[in-house]
Amino acid sequence: MATYLLKRLVGTIPVLLGVSILVFAMARLVPGDPIDIMFANQAPPSPEQRAELRRSMGLDQPIHRQYITFMTNLAKGDMGQSFRTRRPVTEEIRNRIPNTVKLTIASLAVASLIGIVTGIVAAVFKNTWIDFVSMLVAIIGVSIPGFWLGLMAMMLFSVRLGWFPVAGADTWRHLVMPAVTLGVLASAILARMTRSSMLEVLNQDYVRTARAKGLKETVVVARHALRNALIPIVTIIGLQVGGLLSGAFIIEAVFAYPGIGMLAVQALSTRDFPLIQGIVLLVATIYVMVNLFVDLLYGFIDPRVRYS
């Protein structure tokens, strides 16, 4: 297990390196000069001030030298300074990441609860109206744009019913609508995967044997079928973490939720290169680490994976 973990950790290095190169290049291919955007609502700087700003931001250097400087500082734990606020990128992210972590955990809980339960019920009642309705709802959930669902939830539960606040992150009530919106969208894929995995397991001989012994159907499904169907489900849940983090960019903007998603939208609109790079690298690192954790979790779910 230790050797496998070491190999997986070493394998993440080229992935993160490739992500850093792509993000660094793509951020600079976006049209627009950061200095022009910084002074959009102000008097334009003089040529001398513009040259000094470009020098202080490192924008006067060739692209490859900017990347080397960025990676050298990153190795020291320095992601640079935000062009917009002139504060360290690590500080900007540290102030916002707790809100996004809470949103991701809450939405993942909603997605897991709805998706797994719906998938199990659809598999147990295969080819019945319950199965058809569940999968129809799942297909609709996959097709609905996240921003549209968020706006509809805001109109119904905030504007008309007044149950939840429209924006902010001060109390748990501010978390409900963004988390449910993200969770409902993610649960659709999870429900379809759970149903497919459960149907495959429910046709196995050991499940028929358990039923022949006279065990209750709930025991057969929960103890014998579900555990052996967990590996594909856990894989999807791990992938959903990355999807929820990226989906949070849109949902946080819709609900004005002050997380790293909202911060990323602001950084993109102002061409704040250091902040964009820091956020994307953070999300990529979380995504890679979660998938590494899921790989290790396989061994605890199914001992055959560990021994192989």
Instruction: Name the band, by pLDDT with cuts 50, 70 and 90, for residue 307.
Output: very low
Query: Is the Cα torsion angle 231, 233, 235, 241 positive or negative in sign?
Result: negative
What percent of the chain shows pLDDT beyond 90? 0
Residue-wise pLDDT for 87-118, tens only, equals 888 888 888 888 888 888 888 888 888 888 88
Segment 148-173 mean pLDDT: 78
Task: Judge if pTM exceeds 0.85.
Answer: no
Task: Please return the burial class of 83, using the count of CB atoms within 10 Å of its CB with bins 0-12, 13-18 and 19+.
Answer: buried
% of the chain at pLDDT higher than 70: 86
The arrangement of secondary structure in 96-271, i.e. its CATH architecture, is Orthogonal Bundle (1.10)
Contact partners, residue 150, CB within 8 Å, separation at least 6: 177, 178, 181, 250, 251, 254, 255
Residue the block writes with tokens 């540290």: 94
- Of the pLDDT bands very low, low, confident and very high (cuts 50, 70, 90), residue 23 is confident
The tens digit of pLDDT for each residue in 232-265 reads: 787 777 777 776 776 677 787 788 778 787 888 8
The pLDDT of residue 303 is 60
DSSP reduced 3-state for 263: helix
36-57 pLDDT, tens digit per residue, is 666 666 666 677 777 777 777 6
The segment(s) of the chain belonging to CATH 1.10.3720.10 are 96-271
Least confident window among 51-55, 68-72, 116-120, 274-278: 51-55
- Residue 137's pLDDT band (boundaries 50, 70, 90)? confident
**Of 27-36, 165-174, 248-257, the least confident:** 27-36
